[in-house]
Structure 1
Amino acid sequence: MRHDFDTSDDGTDTMTERFGRLALHTWTIDTTPLGEALEAIKSAGYDAAELRRTDFKRCYEAGLSNDEVLEMIRASGVRVAVLGVEYGFLFATGAESKRIFEDLHVSCRNAVALGCPQLMSAPGPFTGSLKDAVGHLRTAADIVADYGLKLSIEFNSQHANLNSVETQRELVTAAGKPNVGLLLDAYHLARSGRPGRTFEDVPGEDIMHFQYSDLSPNPVTGVKRPTDRLMPGKGVILWTEVFQLLREKGYTGHLSFEAPNPAQWERPPAEVCREGVELTEDLLRAAVPDPAS
């Protein structure tokens, strides 16, 4: 079991920043109801969870209110490191854009209620110009800042527009918001031609969040959100190089295990979660023998 919390002088728990903290992204066990997923995350020993807006919406569909979902999460004892918002605000227009930004306020309030400091968003289902995305990102950043939160933006190697580190950095730099940073994903880095240490040009202070899973030597094509992701160490990613570079860059955020794959969804969620922890810790020990130093 991993332990990642110190106790402050007033008796409250505070999250200790250090390299190698693990979170479980719930897409990894997508078919598991949230309550059961939280139990699996806790029993496997993750330091925290990365929850999705989808997790909340599925609970609403099951008859739970937003307050009841929040209480279930708090009662589980699982910390929430990052909370995903509804994707699409970067390129949506008209009434859809207004609706997604209104939903962003809900995610912000939920993050505050859970003591979660960071929201994240992927590009989403829409496409458009980078100029429009910059304006929309500024709007989102201002909303998130009003709640005292940070926002990380992910690139998706299969998206029509936001599909590379270069475009991702251009977007975030142009937005110029201090509470917005980069979300890097080892899977998408590798699929966009940046395996191993090939993100050396990205400043460490710009990396706000990091997700990971392994890449098959024969990844599926023609799918915007691939679910062919593998357990760490089971594909072609150069994990020693990736983890060593992250450590050198001073990254102390969570490493969020996100490996959606139908083959894993058929397995017991607790088993998938435990295997994710064990394999990742083996790779971390090989890359950084003494991560606490």
Structure 2
Amino acid sequence: MQENNYPKLHNATWPGVVGKGDGSEPVIPFDTLLKFTAEAEVDGVKFDGVDIGLFDVHFGINQPDDAIKKLADKVASYGLKIGSLVAPIWPPDGGSAMGSDEERKRFVEQVRKSCHVGKLLREIGIRPYGVVRIDSAVNPDSWLKDPVNNTALIAQTFREACDVAADYGEKLAAEGEICWGGMHSWKKMIDTLEQVDRPNIGFQADMSHTFLYLLGYNAPEDRILPEDFNWDDKATLEAGLKKLTDALRPWTIDFHVAQNDGTVHGTGSHDKTGKHCLPNDPNGKLDIAKYAGYWLRDNAGNLTKAFKHICWDGCMFPNEKMMQQQTWNDILAAMVSVQKAHGWSE
């Protein structure tokens, strides 16, 4: 029996795209992912919806409004809602948030188009919650050439994107991934968000990607766990998680459930970032249900209820695994465990 009905449980469609193609494994079709999502079930509980990457191979942002309405009808036909959207802000269609004027204009325009899709989906009624996800669209090495000015440029671009998003009633969430310059450590992420200084921007925490902030990949000066850290030392790990989440939780407006084995990974055109693992991976370092609570509850243990849904994110799994229904049942089981431990009823 489902004890709580919030936060709503979503699957993501972008794992069928990220790290696929470009000589890697084939992209998994959008309809295939919808089918697996809709057919997943654990003790009578099913996914409530999907979060969508606005990529041309699934659903591009340059399509007419009629196509957006057809998208809503298609997702609804599976008994699902739509939540957060990923704006395709990377080159060549987009551009670096710290790049030339032209690159930055393309970045903001991609955000605008994504917000248009999001607003129409809200008006249709298929999207009752969710944000538009962004990043800096540039690597840490490029950022390191001029950290102060590059962060200022990223913040300026994000401000312009926030102002555009506000016109559509949308919020932007910057995801904590170590592969994006100016966002590649917890301190640098906070610095960037503080410089943006807009009410409609926040942080998207991912239990896998953001976990790597603890280890200081790409920013050893901001490492939280000691260099000789022993994974059996749960007390130190959890103290580190507390420090990390205390700093970022006030910014957090979107949340991804995930597993991680403490390493970085990258396939296809996707740069190295926190390696997602299946929820039951024996090498997984996260107690998913317990550690999700560091993000979903405040220092006093109270639920923040800062967002209405949570989403599973598991990029760069082999297609062989992703084409098995049991994989999605196992993922849903992990999501249900989080909802049971940190959910509520409305």
The interval holding the TM-score normalised by the smaller chain is: 0.7 to 0.9
Q: How does 1:213-292 map to 2 (within 5 A)?
A: 213-220=258-265, 224-226=271-273, 228-234=275-281, 235-249=284-298, 250-253=304-307, 254-264=309-319, 266-268=321-323, 270-282=325-337, 285=340, 287-288=341-342, 291-292=344-345
Q: Give the Cα separation in 2 of the matches to 1:28 and 1:59.
A: 11
Structure 1: 5+ residue stretches without partners: 5-15
Match of 1:122 among 123, 129, 135: 135
**Residue deviations 1:183-237, cap 9 Å, x none?**
1111122212166433242364421011132112444379724484112242002
Q: Give the Cα separation in 2 of the matches to 1:265 and 1:67.
A: 34
Q: Which amino acid aligns with 2:112?
A: H
Partner of 1:87: 89
Give me the CA root mean square deviation: 3.2
Q: CA deviation at 1:265?
A: 5.4
Q: Give the Cα separation in 1 of the matches to 2:255 and 2:263.
A: 23
Q: 2:206 touches 2:255 (CA, 8 Å); kept in 1? A: yes
Partner of 2:50: 49
Three-state SS of the structure 2 residue aligned to 1:187 is coil
Q: Which amino acid aligns with 2:332?
A: V
Q: How does 1:28-39 map to 2 (within 5 A)?
A: 28-30=15-17, 31-39=27-35
Q: CA deviation at 1:2?
A: 6.9
Match of 1:107 among 103, 108, 114: 114
Structure 2: 5+ residue stretches without partners: 18-26, 41-45, 91-95, 144-149, 215-223, 225-236, 299-303
Three-state SS of the structure 1 residue aligned to 2:331 is helix
Q: Give the Cα separation in 2 of the matches to 1:25 and 1:70.
A: 20
Partner of 1:212: 257
Q: Percent identity?
A: 14
Bigger Cα displacement from structure 2, 215-224 vs 252-261: 215-224
Partner of 1:9: none
Q: Give the Cα separation in 2 of the matches to 1:209 and 1:139.
A: 21
Bigger Cα displacement from structure 2, 143-152 vs 101-110: 101-110
Bigger Cα displacement from structure 2, 176-185 vs 68-77: 68-77
Q: CA deviation at 1:160?
A: 4.0
Aligned length: 275
Bigger Cα displacement from structure 2, 63-72 vs 135-144: 63-72
Q: CA deviation at 1:240?
A: 4.2
Question: What TM-score results when the alignment is normalised by the length of structure 1?
Answer: 0.80
Q: Give the Cα separation in 2 of the matches to 1:264 and 1:221.
A: 15
Partner of 1:76: 75
Q: Which amino acid aligns with 1:73?
A: A
Q: CA deviation at 1:96?
A: 2.6
Q: Which amino acid aligns with 1:74?
A: D
Partner of 2:230: none
Partner of 1:202: 247
Match of 1:23 among 2, 6, 10: 10
Q: Give the Cα separation in 2 of the matches to 1:69 and 1:273.
A: 26
Q: Which amino acid aligns with 2:291?
A: V
Q: Give the Cα separation in 2 of the matches to 1:283 and 1:144.
A: 30
Q: Give the Cα separation in 2 of the matches to 1:188 and 1:210.
A: 11
Three-state SS of the structure 1 residue aligned to 2:318 is helix
Do the aligned partners of residues 264 and 182 (structure 1) sit closer, same or farther apart at CA in structure 2, a change above 3 Å counting?
same
